[in-house]
Structure 1
Amino acid sequence: MVVGLCTIELRIPMSHSLKNKRGVLKSLINRIKNRFNVSIAEVAHHDDWKLATVGIVTISNNTIYVQQLLNKVIEYIEDNYLDVQLFNYTIEFL
């Protein structure tokens, strides 16, 4: 059994309030959940208007599958969310 954990740090430069930030994150989180069937949540920077850290977790019996899935999620964010800047991420296997 392989558990993949991806921690992604995001910058939301156009955000002017926590309400605006949460709207952007809610959309991102729901779309990723539905498209990739992973667990995802905001895990840090809850009170910062322009920063967010999300954690993504998936489980499988194949390490390569987990790696590819998490890479696809990262590519999806970079390609489809132009109002969000992905500036750092890590992928771990547990």
Structure 2
Amino acid sequence: MFTGSARICIHLQGVATLKEKRMIVKSVIGRLKSRFNVSAAEIDRLDNKQMAVLGIAVVSNDRTFTISQLDTILSFIYNDGRFYVGDVKKDVCAFDEF
């Protein structure tokens, strides 16, 4: 089993309130969950209007698929015009049989 995780920092320009920020972040998370069947959440900078940190997790039995899925998700996020992407960290871990 392989787990892939990504920590993505996004910068929102022109957002005046936390309500606006949360609408954008909830929209992105919802689209990720429905389109890619992954776990996603806002994990840091919750009270910062201009920045959000998203955490994404993928589980698969194929390492290549896990990496490909993370790359596709990152491309999807990069192509969203409502914000720009800052720091990105991703990792894939293998778990041996129990």
Per the normalisation by structure 2, the TM-score is 0.91
On the 8 A contact 1:8/1:89 being kept in 2, the answer is yes
1:77 and 1:3 map into 2 onto residues whose CA distance is 20
Matched residue pairs, number? 93
Larger radius of gyration: 2
Residues 12-35 of structure 1 show CA distances to partners (whole Å, capped at 9, x for unaligned) of 012111000000001111011000
In structure 2, what is the equivalent of residue 12 of structure 1?
A: 12
| 2:83 is the alignment partner of 1:84 | yes
Query: Equivalent pairs: percent with the same residue?
Result: 29
SS in 2 for 1:13: coil
On the 8 A contact 1:11/1:85 being kept in 2, the answer is yes
Tell me the CA shift for residue 61 of structure 1: 1.1
Kindly provide the amino acid, as one letter, of the partner of residue 89 in structure 2: T
Structure 1: give runs of 5+ residues left out of the alignment. none
Kindly provide the amino acid, as one letter, of the partner of residue 13 in structure 1: Q
| 2:50 is the alignment partner of 1:50 | yes
Tell me the CA shift for residue 87 of structure 1: 1.1
Structure 2: give runs of 5+ residues left out of the alignment. 94-98
Tell me the CA shift for residue 3 of structure 1: 0.6
Kindly provide the amino acid, as one letter, of the partner of residue 44 in structure 1: D
Kindly provide the amino acid, as one letter, of the partner of residue 88 in structure 1: D
Tell me the CA shift for residue 83 of structure 1: 1.4
